[in-house]
A and B are shown apart, each in its own frame.
Chain A
Amino acid sequence: MIRLVGAALILFAGTMIGFLQAARFAERPKQIRHLLHALQRLETEIGYGQTPLPEALLRVAKVLPPPLAGLFERIAGELRSASGETVKAAWERIIGGGWASTAMRAGELEAMLRLGASLGGSGRDDQLKHVRLAMLQLQAEETAAREDQAKYERLSRSLGVLGAALVVILMM
């Protein structure tokens, strides 16, 4: 009896792990897309509105779903505070620290950190170039992420179930 309950639990856990993994694969291209929209918005704020960076980041945060919105809000809050931290430092700390809460990988993180290192520090044309460069990099990552999704989403789901089944069979 206890064996049966244990087997059921293992089966359930394995399936869940598989589903979670699949969800991450599905979530990643979605979040990259959100990030691309955010950067597009940032581009307009810098290029057309010449909005100061803290304000621009807040506006960007408004159009984003969590957890990305939270990251941008925290950076804006940090820049508004009296601490005097530079954009580069605040960006690295908050984006780098909060990246684990997103479904994105190292490639996107690198593109974002590179953008953060130059944000706010130069003239308008130069800023737009940096934002566009980051967008190009993210687009490349998005394509890769979609391919991964097509390949691994269903795979990881079935892998979870099958892996759990294997453990159960070995146990029996």
Chain B
Amino acid sequence: MLPVWLDIFPASLRARLDKLPDSVIESLEEVRVREGRPLEISYGSRYAFLTPDGLLSGDHREGYRTSREECQAFLEKLTDHSLYAMEEELKRGYVTVSGGHRVGLAGRTVLEGGHVRHLRDVAAFNVRIARARVGCSAAVLPGLLDPAARSIRHTLLVSPPQQGKTTLLRDLARAISAGEWNDPSARGWRGRKVGIVDERSEIAACERGVPTFDLGPRTDVLDACPKAEGMMMLVRSMSPEVIVVDEIGRPEDADALREALHAGVRVLATAHAADLADVFERPVLSALAREGMFGAYIVLSRSGSMVRHRVLGAAEAEEEAGRRRRSIRYGIPRDAPPQVPVHAPADVPVTAPPEGSLELGLKARPLPLIRSPASAEGGAAP
């Protein structure tokens, strides 16, 4: 069966993508369309170009070159023939299409008073395929529980891009809302009311206000709403017990988070960062972290084709961040050979069982690796 997301492409591109073998379709991560340049796909942490016959090739000269008309038709299709209704999205450089797939756009920007007003001559598209992985949070959730409140601790999910952050967040929301705590001590706990502020329409992929992903029975979604404002709106109107937001980092987000905290709401948020040291270096996040805002941190990283995650308590997180900040860090390309994770339990001081560092493998699609080499040396660093 062909996936629904193929429908967003104009007929001529779809004809080529249709011919991809099922195994590639299954593990497809991105489709990159660039005007006058070869059509590229990336799947399973590899990339390849599509030839005019729909075959895969490593040589870009054999790739099918998309024409101006195709790009124009693609943009029209993405925006539902209504650029005027998408001005905000164009300003931010991406649109989210039905199914929660995000399409990044690049072209020529039009400035007004030094700020980007909108994008014109859009000539490059990056289609990121969103997938729901029901059950992928089962291993993480027990580490986040707060037995006293019968809920979760305030949690920050930290990961570089493309590690499956949103996928995990989505499933956590579903599990909390459905009461699938997956922990013996949580037997008898019921689901919590979850409120999601879905600024980029990625978590829930709402269509006419109704989520298309399964987010559990007790979840309310505020679609396409700015995070800071949305959190306050939810607290005032929907009485959530857990608020889920994606990618915090602006000062107003922090204020709203504090507000939610004092309203007695648990917060589950994500942040773009390579590792914990990054979190403690970003001004807004570090301020929140140092205030002890978060009770738990989930750090995603990839080794080979597995996404690994670790759950850390606040104290451990700060300690680990301090340790790494002193060592030199640099990125590793995503197709580098997988590193063998060296992670001695002694690296992270274990305090109490739920606070302890959990090392768990998460079966998932191969995801990119941006990992600090220092993490392998952890304890060896001065």
What is A's interface to B at a CB cutoff of 8 Å? 46, 50-54, 56, 79, 82-87, 119-124, 126-127
Contact = CB atoms under 8 A, between A and B. Distances in A.
Residue from the set A56, A120, A126 with the largest chain B CB neighbour count within 10 Å: A120
Contacts of A83: 11
A85 B72 CA distance: 10
Residue from the set A56, A119, A123 with the largest chain B CB neighbour count within 10 Å: A123
A46 B76 contact: no
B10 A84 contact: yes
Interface stretch (B80-88, B307-315, B354-362): B80-88
A127 B84 contact: yes
B218 interface: no
A52 B11 contact: no
B12 to A, nearest CB: 8
A127 B9 CA distance: 25
Given A82-B11, A120-B81, 14 more contacts: A46-B85, A50-B82, A52-B81, A53-B80, A79-B80, A83-B11, A84-B77, A85-B73, A87-B76, A120-B82, A120-B84, A123-B84, A123-B118, A127-B84
A85 B77 CA distance: 9
Contacts of B72: 86
Nearest to B10: A84
B7 interface: yes
Contacts, number: 57
A84 B73 CA distance: 6
Residue from the set A54, A84, A86 with the largest chain B CB neighbour count within 10 Å: A84
Contacts of B76: 86-87, 120-121
B87 to A, nearest CB: 5
Interface of B: 7, 9-12, 14, 72-74, 76-77, 79-85, 87, 118
A146 B72 CA distance: 40
B80 A52 contact: yes
Contacts of A122: 83-84
A87 B81 contact: yes
B207 to A, nearest CB: 12
Nearest to B87: A123
Contacts of B7: 82
3 closest Cβ contacts across the A-B interface? A84-B10, A52-B80, A124-B84
Give the dominant DSSP class at A's interface.
loop
Residue from the set B12, B14, B76 with the largest chain A CB neighbour count within 10 Å: B76
B309 to A, nearest CB: 38
Contacts of B11: 82-84
Residue from the set B72, B73, B81 with the largest chain A CB neighbour count within 10 Å: B81
A50 B85 contact: yes
A119 B85 CA distance: 12
A52 B208 CA distance: 12
Contacts of B12: 84
13 contacts: A50-B82, A52-B81, A52-B82, A52-B85, A53-B80, A53-B81, A84-B10, A86-B72, A87-B76, A120-B76, A120-B84, A123-B84, A124-B87
B377 to A, nearest CB: 52
Contacts of A120: 76, 79, 81-84
A150 to B, nearest CB: 39
Nearest to B6: A82
Nearest to A128: B84
A127 B87 CA distance: 12
A50 B73 contact: no
A50 B80 CA distance: 12
A50 B89 CA distance: 13
A25 B17 CA distance: 53
B122 to A, nearest CB: 11
A57 to B, nearest CB: 9
Contacts of B84: 46, 50, 120, 122-124, 126-127
Contacts of A56: 82
Given A84-B77, A86-B76, A121 B85 contact: no
A129 to B, nearest CB: 11
Nearest to A56: B82
A124 to B, nearest CB: 4
B118 A53 contact: no
A121 B76 CA distance: 8
Contacts of B118: 123
Contacts of B80: 52-54, 79
A50 B81 CA distance: 12
Contacts of A126: 84
A44 B85 CA distance: 13
A53 B78 CA distance: 12
A86 B85 contact: no
Contacts of A87: 76, 81
Nearest to A47: B84
A66 B350 CA distance: 76
A60 B261 CA distance: 47
